[in-house]
């Protein structure tokens, strides 16, 4: 069980660029440590239906080690390109974890499908 409070701020820059940041505190139940999260995104619409995004996702434990849980931090970088086809957008990207402590070293390639309603 977990609960989270999150603040988001974003801004368009001209007609083709945007930036956003999100800051969150996640309360976690049981032995799990609470977390502080920071997500950053920059996007660029390179053509009418094409968009490129660069993102950073960071998480830190908000508490010190205690029996059953070790403090941690993880920082993930992600780049992707997306293309809109009617009501759907297809996103292809890659992510890596360049640094972290007591966390998983992730490397991934992903495909996402967004649906507009």
Section 47-58 average pLDDT: 97
Section 39-62 average pLDDT: 96
What pLDDT, on the 0 to 100 scale, is given for residue 3?
Answer: 95
Domain at 2-115, CATH from 2.60.40.10, 2.40.160.40, 3.30.300.130, 3.30.590.20: 2.40.160.40
pLDDT at 93 over 80: yes
| Burial readout 41-60 (b: 16 or more C-beta within 10 A, e: otherwise) | bebebeeeeebebebebbbb
Q: Where are the domains positioned within the chain? A: 2-115
The pTM (predicted TM-score) of the whole model is 0.88
Section 97-108 average pLDDT: 92
What pLDDT, on the 0 to 100 scale, is given for residue 62?
Answer: 87
């Amino acid at each position: 069980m977990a609960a989270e409070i999150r603040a988001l701020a974003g801004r368009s820059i001209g007609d083709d660029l945007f930036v956003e940041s999100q800051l969150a505190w996640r309360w976690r139940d049981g032995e799990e440590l609470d977390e502080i999260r920071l997500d950053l995104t920059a996007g660029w619409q390179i053509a009418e239906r094409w968009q490129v995004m660069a993102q950073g996702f960071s998480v830190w434990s908000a508490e010190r080690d205690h029996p059953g849980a070790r403090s941690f931090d993880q920082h993930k970088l992600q780049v992707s390109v997306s293309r809109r086809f009617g009501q759907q957008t297809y996103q292809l990207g890659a992510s890596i974890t360049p640094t972290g402590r007591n966390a998983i070293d992730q490397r991934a390639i992903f495909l996402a499908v967004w649906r507009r309603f």
